[in-house]
């Protein structure tokens, strides 16, 4: 059964590289991205399956590594230092998901997402567990 209505979302996404407790590893600075997006989407659903897709516009801001500065040896290895390159860019967020609904109140799914922007495009996937009245 197809639903003729669209759905709208406003989403805040934060992605950040981190170090382990008290141990710094990897290149510095750690990259961080924050995106605020408004999307429109469409979905189809039947008793056991739901498919959704959405696209929108947003603003992505963050810190990425710039030019290489130096390397430093530590007890745990070598740390490479780079310039801190702060950015703000318009973005196009995308998301596609599929969910299997074995019961009326439980859904298991997977979603793929991406954020296309001129500074640092990123993508990923996530597994979903949905509880509640699923339509």
- pLDDT per residue, tens digit, the chain (135 aa), is 445 689 999 999 998 888 766 666 778 999 999 999 999 999 998 989 999 999 999 999 999 999 999 999 887 788 899 999 999 999 999 999 999 999 989 999 999 999 999 998 989 999 999 899 876
Specify the pTM: 0.80
Contact 52, 41 (CB under 8 A): yes
pLDDT at residue 63 in the model: 95
pLDDT at residue 21 in the model: 65
Q: Note the residue count of the chain.
A: 135
Q: Which of 133, 17, 129, 128 is nearest to 82 (CA)?
A: 17
pLDDT at residue 43 in the model: 92
Instruction: Using alpha carbons, list the distances in angstroms from residue 113 to 14, 92, 97, 130.
Output: 13, 11, 9, 18
pLDDT at residue 4 in the model: 65
Identify each DSSP E strand in the chain by its residue range: 2-16, 32-45, 49-74, 77-100, 106-117, 122-131
């Amino acid at each position: 059964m197809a639903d003729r209505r669209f759905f709208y979302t406003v989403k805040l996404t934060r992605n950040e590289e981190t170090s382990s407790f008290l141990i710094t590893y990897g290149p510095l600075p750690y990259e961080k991205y924050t995106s605020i997006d408004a999307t429109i989407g469409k979905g189809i659903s039947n008793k056991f399956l739901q498919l959704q897709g959405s696209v929108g516009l947003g603003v992505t801001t963050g810190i990425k590594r710039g030019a290489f500065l130096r390397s430093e040896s530590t007890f745990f290895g070598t740390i490479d230092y780079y310039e801190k390159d702060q950015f703000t860019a318009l973005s196009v967020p995308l998301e596609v998901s599929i969910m299997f609904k074995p019961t009326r109140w439980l859904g298991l799914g997977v979603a793929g997402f991406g954020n296309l922007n001129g500074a640092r495009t990123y993508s990923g996937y996530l597994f979903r567990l949905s509880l509640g009245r699923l339509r």
